[in-house]
Structure 1
């Protein structure tokens, strides 16, 4: 039998349930969203379908209007139908996957599953999103057939953005059901699958909440402040900027407290059970409803002065009063800033001598020991724990990767000296001469397996290509500080950027030309992509403004023009290469990064794609072929059978995209905006991106790839400029745009429309590229553009002048 998810159902329209429904709909799955009939209906309302669906409609509306967005694009909501558990329960009979996301109450869940059992079709899969109730208890008394199709699928919130999906097999779940849902979750929904056991709070929250609560306990003991803890357990230790306490504010103190208490109650044999007892001041905050972001006050809060100035405050753990705070200052953090790599930063912090370093060491050491002791209780290998923390808590490294980074042997010696009990499994590993949990050999990554006391290869999907593993296996063909060319097999190579934020600089421009020459002589195609950073990451945050600003400051405008000409020529080289070039963008793909993608034959993009030509924000315009190639992307969609298409209709969205610096909030939106075309693909799982881009190259080769022919471009001419100028005049009169915005926008319109030519004129591509360069150089000569650039470099925010 071939399983398919043609229709799914989500029962429970709260934050988590509506988030799961949004993800399913965004993946193209028709989804039924159900919730209870409100208890407080009047007799008149009981016969009103609108009133009976009030609960689910509120959840649906919150999902549609959520910020950040839960849907990839608003029209995905059309795939979601709503109903209630009384009038629409029979509709579950049509569903291939039913996801339960109701209140964490065993009796309620048991009653619901008993209702589902007789109505579900024989092949339908039923899963629970519970985080604290054992599956065995929920399915007690149900038929063997139901149990064979029942499992736990624990998503993390917000569902669209958190990669982790914990899968918990029931005792009788069929292997084929587990295989199918894990493949669907990974490939179709883009999730990272972690196999968990049916233990309290599974993997991510068991490890994560223990780490947070233990940090709170040690903070109180050692007399640190909340901002000091967050500074230590932020980026310096590979953690997100939200660190410990800001993360808890986002999740909710009540939620964190519930998970901690639930775990404490259910793990009487846990050697660190007391590390789930939250400190008294946190309990008092929960009683006072200081629950975090949803209450607008938690560990942190923001006050507004009468002058609308934001004042950030933190709670005093002794008085429970909010106070202003400064930036924490520890010598170990200052030293970590100077370190180049994350492992070096970590070592600088945990092996320092100051108060902050000692706190960081103690807290981290206890969490590492705790993670090691949970194998095989909550998972069989270290991989599940590491992935759960990376995908569910946004750690750059999981506990065991962190242990490798700070040095296993050195840390074990220090733990024993400090009286921290090192697990016997770890002692044996070190004693046998195995000093790392992971190692790479012959392009494969191996992990240390406690059960066999030996290294095992990590099994990954065939769709996944790891550039790091290929690099370690000597597959780098050539490299410089900012980019590398890597052999990814079958005659396909990958041009990987690795500058800061993967910004396009002079070195990358030169390297891409060299890479093209090499592939032309030795390969069949090229992928342009990288795998740097966590979610959402940055394919490329744009051009190197520091370099350009330096040239402009010295008045070297001819050098700016020469650099642009080289960049344009090299991207043209990619555009008209004799082999297919496929870009694999994800996350931030801005400015110059976007231009690289527009120059490729095709794109294979990750769903989380924030793509746009944003140069006007710094007083510039796209001059690496961005104006030219976006216009071509639009007009290339016009069939030859429509020779007299109304070009201004196509011109306006191209102009607006550039002049308004529009950035897509998803790959689907990038397609709607015209940046992705019909032949470009969207991939939900970022781990698959390079592999899928390689497949696209090989498909094009197999289809008999022929490079595009360089032809003249039809442009909208002065007619389009007049249309834009009229609209800008109206906007300027209404004070919607500044005088300088108008100056920039008029020149952008001039470039895109082909300059001083008539409507429907055919012009050489080189003409528009020259117009781009001229405008770019002229803008650098303007004081207001220089001011915008300097403000962006200094603050990271645009200046409107």
Structure 2
């Protein structure tokens, strides 16, 4: 089966350009084409402009500088014949059938036989798109619906037609899965497919009900957010992010495509206030604001929310809700609460879950596919069917009957049961036939959540657990709040190292949380400092250093497998692994200076070693410390695994996995490949500049202070960091051991943790989540 070596994307708008950028992120050459603007001196102006914008955009569509160099630009007049170079041609132009079909006819005359063509549409059925076109084109055609932004959203819906070659679907599925990191869900050729069919209904229902019931937007977002495992943007915040002006077009498309019996029509009522906002440029974050806006008058940044009745803005209030307080974390208790808020939550989410049940079998073959689409496309923690299991299928069915509503067939089948169950250690899902069927994973996918279905942890305490993932490999999982590092994690890790040495082959450090680890538990550190429990802090830092040293020097391989943020102590874990297999979206950095500290678990020492060994720097004792000082003193965080390699938070030989669902399997394979003949790393020594280097680094900070880029306390913290990185009172001809540097790191850490300025920074971070510029 031929693979994909080059891709062409037609349409350099926001979506098309971002899809092209993500193809480049996979290491694949990509050609971006668009029309020639009338009278343009640069005939490639649209594609060139898109490339230039993306290289400056934040969040960045590209994962690194190398990716941007894989993109070429052109136009549909001069470069149409270059489509013959592409194995996959992606159309991402305006949602008009006449324009798309006209383009397809031009593509058909230029492409090579057997190349695959797909559309990114989410509104026009595939059968309509290929209507009247050649049979050969229809055989190679499918829909690949990416979610925006393509780099960060893990969902891709794949739609095939009656004529589509099975091999074409397999090739695209394999490439999108392994190279683009997508979870590919096979959707049926129905209006808006899976995610947007349900998601748009949910959004519209929530907005209409809030407006008609007089529920403030802040309150609505709080009610339809955390209690149901939905991101804190809620509904109105999400619409601001997507763009209010997009919704009327999406709604109109759905309304035209769906039969009058569909529940969408009951929620598709126009809101004059929204139409007025769009006409005045309040289209969301891309405009002057939307349901929320930032008022910058008087040099301030005040978050304001719109009143859905008057259209006036006022300072956004932090929602306070008796219903939410009394319901706790229970979505069912909130929906049952006898209050305006409870009834709002019940009507919005009850209708949404009922609609999801009605769509089972129509939009996808399984409830697991619908759940996955909402989790990955809209950020829900639980899909609608998993959420119904939490609420109770019987309770929902009885509520619908009490309101005179018809209970959808699959919800009726779930009475007295559940949508999901674990049988013989395997996860199963309820089908429309009333039987349970396995929830299957693509070959090569290993999930810790699946392992937990049929196993008990080998070791466990309040902050971590250890799982046997087969073939003599253990997986160490952080389970603390936000996976923050604490004494319990260190204690269990030390115990795990002894267990692996005695009974197993290798260790993988991995979890399936949103973030790998946000660093040390600052709350515990702040509490200990406030009661002057210095011995406790010293013990944790010393024990952490020893544990990480023992881990790196263990007689078996240890592989880190991060995804999301790996900051501070979380980064230091990875720095001491023998190898790292990182998810592409790993954001790694040593950020301790932001809370008035320096890395205390060997981070300084390890970064010095890496920049001395791998950094392409001039020879001598000063270049590596200067580079590490630059990175650590500015709390630089890599914004991708590729960028982490540039900063040497990851080594050149460390691996990157594009698909997060494949991360654990890849890390396990990496660990097993290292077992035979494994030799622990050699002891390290360092030649550092000493006092002269310290002065140079301090002068650099003083210059930042003069131009307002550093605060008075930054000088103090950076000074301590500079002492460690310069080697303290040493001479450039002397050799320092790793133990020497670790002691220096501990000493300067303790000096800082006792200072009021550091405690102020820690307290501010704990209270606000933002660094204090003192």
Normalising by the residue count of structure 1, what TM-score does the alignment of the two structures yield?
Answer: 0.94
Alpha-carbon distance in structure 2 between the residues aligned to 1:284 and 1:614? 44
Q: 2:407 aligns with which of 422, 435, 451?
A: 422
Shift of residue 176 of structure 1? 1.3
Rounded Cα–Cα distance in structure 2 between residues aligned with 1:74 and 1:792? 32
Residue 388 of structure 2 is matched in structure 1 by: 403
* Residue 734 of structure 1, CA deviation: 3.7
Distance 1:722 1:289 in 2: 53
1:138 aligns with 2:129: yes
How far the C-alpha of 1:461 sits from its partner, in A, is: 2.1
Whole-angstrom distance in 1 between the partners of 2:343 and 2:629: 56
Q: 1:594 to 1:512 in 2, by over 3 A?
A: same
* Residue number in structure 2 paired with 1:229: 220
Tell me the residue number matched to 1:297: 289
1:341-740 → structure 2 map (5 Å cutoff): 344-430=329-415, 433=416, 435-450=417-432, 452-532=433-513, 537-637=514-614, 645-702=619-676, 704-740=677-713
Which residue in 1 is equivalent to 2:753? 780
**Structure 1's 638 and 30: CA in aligned 2 closer, same or farther, altered over 3 A?**
closer
| 1:586-639: CA deviation from partner (whole Å, max 9, x where unpaired) | 111100100111011011111111111111111110011111111122223379
1:476 and 1:485 in contact (8 A); partners too: yes
Report if the CA contact (8 A) 1:302-1:312 is conserved: yes
Residue aligned with 1:568, SS: helix
Look up the SS of the partner of 2:516 in the other structure: strand
Structure 1 residue ranges without an equivalent (≥5) = none
Instruction: Work out the CA distance in 1 between the residues paired with 2:529 and 2:264.
Output: 62
Aligned partner of residue 232 in structure 2, secondary structure: coil
- 1:124-165 per-position Cα deviation (integer Å, ceiling 9, x unaligned): 110000111111222123222221111000001111111111
Report the secondary structure of 1:126's partner residue: strand
Match of 1:314 in 2: 305
CA contact (8 A) 2:516 2:570 kept: yes
**Is contact 1:578-1:707 (8 Å) kept?**
yes
Contact 2:90-2:120 at 8 Å conserved across structures: yes
* Conservation of the 8 A alpha-carbon contact between 1:346 and 1:406: yes
Asked if the contact 2:500/2:507 (under 8 Å) is kept, the reply is yes
Decide which moves more: 295-304 or 666-675.
295-304
| 1:2-81 matches, cutoff 5 A | 2-39=1-38, 41=39, 45=40, 48=41, 50=42, 52-81=43-72
Comparing 285-294 and 142-151, the one that deviates more = 285-294
Higher mean Cα deviation, 616-625 or 629-638? 629-638
Asked if the contact 1:263–1:276 (Cα under 8 Å) also holds between the matched residues in 2, the reply is no
- Counterpart for residue 321 of structure 2: 330
For 1:66 and 1:551, the matched residues in 2 are separated by: 42
Preserved CA contact (<8 Å) 2:208 2:267: no
Distance 1:320 1:725, change over 3 A: closer
Which residue among 256, 277, 286 is the counterpart of 1:285? Answer: 277
Would the aligned equivalents of 2:360 and 2:410 in 1 still touch at CA under 8 Å?
Answer: no
Change (3 A) 1:248 1:730: closer
CA deviations on 1:383-440 (whole Å, 9 max, x unpaired) are: 121111111111111111110111111221222122232112321332xx4x211112
8 Å CA contact 1:128, 1:151 repeated in 2? yes
Matched residue, 2:715: 742
Tell me the CA shift for residue 321 of structure 1: 2.7
Partner of 1:800: 773
- Corresponding residue number in structure 1 for 2:120: 129
Separation (CA, whole Å) in 2 of partners of 1:136 and 1:742: 65
Q: CA deviation at 1:99?
A: 0.3
Stretch of structure 1 that moved more, 287-296 or 464-473:
287-296
Aligned to 1:215: 206
Measure how far apart 1:733 and its partner are.
3.8
Change in CA separation of 1:276 and 1:153 when aligned onto 2, cut-off 3 Å: farther
Shift of 1:269: 4.7
Change (3 A) 1:367 1:757: same
Q: Is the 8 A contact 2:10 2:92 kept in 1?
A: yes
Deviates most, 287-296 or 664-673: 287-296
My pick for the range that moved more, 790-799 or 741-750, is 741-750
| 2:176 corresponds to | 185
Give me the whole-angstrom Cα distance separating, in 2, the residues matched to 1:559 and 1:311. 41
1:363 to 1:35, Cα distance in 2 relative to 1, 3 A:
same
Shift of 1:256: 1.4
Distance in 2 (CA, whole Å) between partners of 1:731 and 1:267 is 60
After TM superposition, give the deviation of residue 575 of structure 1 in Å. 0.5
**TM-aligned CA distance change 1:299 to 1:712, over 3 Å:** closer
Change (3 A) 1:738 1:269: closer
Compute the displacement of 1:276 (Å): 4.6
CA contact (8 A) 2:581 2:667 kept: yes
Choose from 161, 168, 172 the match for 1:170: 161
Question: 1:664 & 1:66 partners in 2: Cα distance?
Answer: 15
CA contact (8 A) 1:166 1:196 kept: yes
Partner SS, residue 158 of structure 1: coil
CA contact (8 A) 2:698 2:719 kept: yes
Deviation at 1:367, TM superposition (A): 0.9
Question: Is 2:266 the counterpart of 1:267?
Answer: no
Q: Please state how far the C-alpha of 1:727 moved relative to its aligned partner.
A: 2.2
Q: How far did 1:252 drift?
A: 1.4
Tell me, in whole angstroms, the C-alpha distance in 1 between the residues paired with 2:222 and 2:704. 45
In the aligned structure 2, how far is the partner of 1:64 from the partner of 1:254?
A: 26
CA–CA separation in structure 1 for the residues paired with 2:515 and 2:35: 42
Distance 1:273 1:551 in 2: 55
Q: Counterparts of 2:688 and 2:162 in 1: how far apart (Å)?
A: 65
- In structure 2, the residue corresponding to 1:152 is in which secondary structure? strand
* Aligned-partner SS, 2:536: helix
CA RMSD of aligned residues (A): 1.8
**98-107 vs 312-321, which deviates more?**
312-321
The separation in 2 between residues aligned to 1:524 and 1:716, in whole angstroms, is: 41
Task: Tell me, yes or no, if the aligned pair for 1:209 and 1:276 is still in contact at 8 Å.
Answer: no
Q: Distance in 2 between matches of 1:270 and 1:202?
A: 18
Deviations 1:559-580 (CA, angstroms, capped at 9, x unpaired): 3222211111111110100110
Alpha-carbon spacing, 1:212–1:735, altered in 2? closer, same or farther (3 Å): closer
Question: For the Cα contact (< 8 Å) 2:374–2:383, is it kept in 1?
Answer: yes
C-alpha separation between the residues in 2 aligned to 1:144 and 1:669?
Answer: 45
